[in-house]
Amino acid sequence: MTRRLSYREAMREAMREALQNDPRVFLMGEDVGRYGGTYAFSKGFLDEFGPERIRDTPLSELGFVGAGIGAALGGLRPIVEVMTVNFSLLALDQIVNSAALLRHMSGGQFPVPLVIRMCTGAGRQLAAQHSHSFEGWYAHIPGIKVLAPATIEDARGMLAPALADPDPVVIFEHCGLFNVEGELPDNGDDCAVDIASAKVRRAGKDVAIITYGGCLPKALAAAETLAQDGISAEVLDLRVLRPLDDAAIAAAVAKCRRVVVVDENWKSGGLAAEIVARIVEHAFFELDAPVARVCAEEVPIPYAKHLEEAALPQPDKIVAAVKGLFA
């Protein structure tokens, strides 16, 4: 039996289960308590679990992410919610110079089992300071694991293994997915997913579209359009951005021989560039055409809706990139 719920509800259910099952787990961040979370992920949690485990924090990302690191070092399992990825830059010192390094610098004596959740991406007309995608920046950092759940299944199932990981895990939840609905098993135990591998979301044979996060629905829509023109597109959802699943990427290249990488990051120095480099290094002779990229335009994300849409990867841009490989 299955039930229908939204991405937001799936993540909320995963957090609630974690809080119920492990007394070491607690949630902290701006407005997660009495307000119920900026995006309503923790609505009702304060009444259910109390202020010791649902902690509203001051408006200081540097401070409360640091407090989460300290709690993890002390044996707890904190879930730290950062309102938006743009604001996480205020906590980069704690994430990059503390959380990511302490286990290594202590010779394995001090693991940091910390989960940091943050909203990422554009599409809601919130202008540049609330709309960027910095997943590629975080995927550059050794010592952390970077996840990008793009489906209801992953929103529900990735949190538990992330909390069990001895190293810091950063989860990027794309704002455009929060109201997307899907089917999940009635039994929560059947919702477990791994946090190590990519997953094929649509099988195909003519071209591989490699993507993640908020671009996955756009890639699937493009694949549907391409199918009407006789082009069979395989859609690979990376899901895990650090470490990348090199084997899955290589398998998609070998199978389809043409590749388009879709990434809401900017093209210059972005995650798409890393993926293309790995394909060229390890699977160059499998290619029948150069690898194409569809990324955000090299501008701060605009506020105006038509400009915001124009700045982002869209299904028609993906279709055009794919067809360009067959020209």
- Catalytic residue IDs: 61, 130
Contacts of 275 (CB under 8 A, 6+ apart): 210, 244, 249, 261, 263
Q: How far apart are CA 114 and CA 117, in angstroms?
A: 10
Give which of 317, 289, 312, 296 is closest to 208, Cα–Cα: 289
Asked whether the beta carbons of 111 and 203 are under 8 A apart, the reply is no
Element (H, E) at 116: strand 115-120
Contacts of 108 (CB under 8 A, 6+ apart): none
CA 183 from centroid of its chain's CA atoms? 20
Angle 290-294-295 from CA coordinates, rounded to 5°: 130
Quote the radius of gyration of the chain (alpha carbons, Å): 20
Asked whether the beta carbons of 80 and 94 are under 8 A apart, the reply is no
Phi-psi region of 214 (alpha: psi -120 to 50; beta: other; left: phi over 0): alpha
The 3-class secondary structure across 52-64, one letter per residue, is: CCEEECCCCHHHH
Strands 77-82 and 233-237: unpaired
The structure tokens listed for 175 are 């704002």
